[in-house]
Amino acid sequence: MFKICLVKIAGIFTLALCVIFASLPVNAAGLKPTEITVAYIQQWPTPNRFAQAKMIFDEALGLKVNWVALADGTEMTAAMASGEVQIAYAQGQLPFLAGIAGGNDLSMVAIAASYPESDNCIVRDDAGITQANAAQLAGRKIAIQVGSITHYRLLKILDHLGVDQSEVEIVPMPDPAASAYALEQGYVAMACASGSALRGMYGSGKPLMTGAELESIGLRLFDIVTVPTKFATEHPEIVQAFVDVTEASNKHWKEHPESMQAVIARSAGLNLEDSNLVLRDLYFPLAEEQKSIAWMAGLVPTYIRDLAEFFVEQGQLDKSLDSYDRFITTRFLR
């Protein structure tokens, strides 16, 4: 087995192999494949896009890495089920759960990115409602896309603040943009949304809780690295190398982001300003943090189970499991 080493060269980094590729083991299923396909979301800038652009993954894995841009996590699940994709980078939580519910044996092997400030509930400034007097939400209207992760988070926020869910009026919206419009026009006292719609709502009010406060009550928001469990079992050295390169990319991003920004933006198909705007709200936990109780060794399995139960209640999933532990592994985090 080889190890990935981070080497700086004139302010840019490359990944050197500390042991030659010839030492890679042959797995029980046969010879190591000559190429694999990794699915990703095109306009989602992340540090490992630098390694993708510089062909560092190909070198570290010792094979050809084909990158295919897919529209969403549901397409990722379908591509893994068909055998067209071996690794999915930045799959969402609902597609992961839906894939398992549909009979796909998938493994969450790492956290791709966390974005605690990218999904929240904004209270209009003229509503006069804060955490201290959150009980005043009783009888008020809240705009939200029902059945979404944002909806799940709202219910947890209300519980945490001691607000009776039956006493607030949920106004169903078709999408986050509609929620933002309802808040801007003053139709509701509070609206909850994600992404660009959430950013637009800051002109009308302030968040009821900060992203850090939401994380402190267990409300993490993140995308994951997913692989078919069979592939991870037959080719653990490939999955390990992929996770290692991503880890090295994340480490370098923490220390020298400026040296990577332009390449990441080009790889994501964004201009530098837009790419950096997205990256500003993203957090890339390192392996040591990912495998802690605060993440995959504790909170994440419980959170995933709770989320699955919510989606069943909302009709988004047909069924949930008593435990998702076997679909989450920290073995590749080192």
| CA angle, 196 then 200 then 205, to 5° | 135
pLDDT at 5: 53
- State the average pLDDT over residues 82-105: 96
Q: Which amino acid is at 264?
A: I
Both 62 and 175 in a single domain? no
- State the average pLDDT over residues 107-129: 96
Predicted TM-score of the model (pTM): 0.89
Both 251 and 226 in a single domain? yes
* Digit-coded pLDDT (tens) for 298-317: 999 999 999 999 999 999 99
- State the average pLDDT over residues 284-298: 97
Domain boundaries, position 42: 4-116+221-327
3-state secondary structure of 142: strand
- State the average pLDDT over residues 260-265: 98
89-93, 127-131, 195-199, 298-302: which has the minimum mean pLDDT?
195-199
Both 14 and 112 in a single domain? yes
pLDDT score of 70 more than 90:
yes
pLDDT at 32: 85
> DSSP per residue over 217-251, as a string?
TT---EEEEEEEHHHHHH-HHHHHHHHHHHHHHHH
Both 89 and 232 in a single domain? yes
* Digit-coded pLDDT (tens) for 142-161: 999 999 999 999 999 999 99
Both 76 and 112 in a single domain? yes
Both 181 and 226 in a single domain? no
- Residue 332 included in any domain: no
- State the average pLDDT over residues 28-36: 78
- Residue 333 included in any domain: no
pLDDT score of 287 more than 50:
yes
Both 226 and 313 in a single domain? yes
Both 231 and 89 in a single domain? yes
Local confidence band at 195 (pLDDT 50, 70, 90 cut-offs):
confident
Both 136 and 106 in a single domain? no
Q: Which CATH number belongs to the domain containing residue 248 in this structure?
A: 3.40.190.10
* Final residue of a structural domain among 216, 245, 268: 216
- How many independent structural domains does the chain possess? 2
pLDDT at 31: 80
- Residue 124 included in any domain: yes
* Final residue of a structural domain among 216, 239, 260: 216
- Residue 165 included in any domain: yes
Both 234 and 96 in a single domain? yes
pLDDT score of 100 more than 80:
yes
pLDDT score of 24 more than 50:
no
Both 108 and 225 in a single domain? yes
| Start-end of H helices in 19-67 | 48-53, 56-61
* Final residue of a structural domain among 168, 200, 216: 216
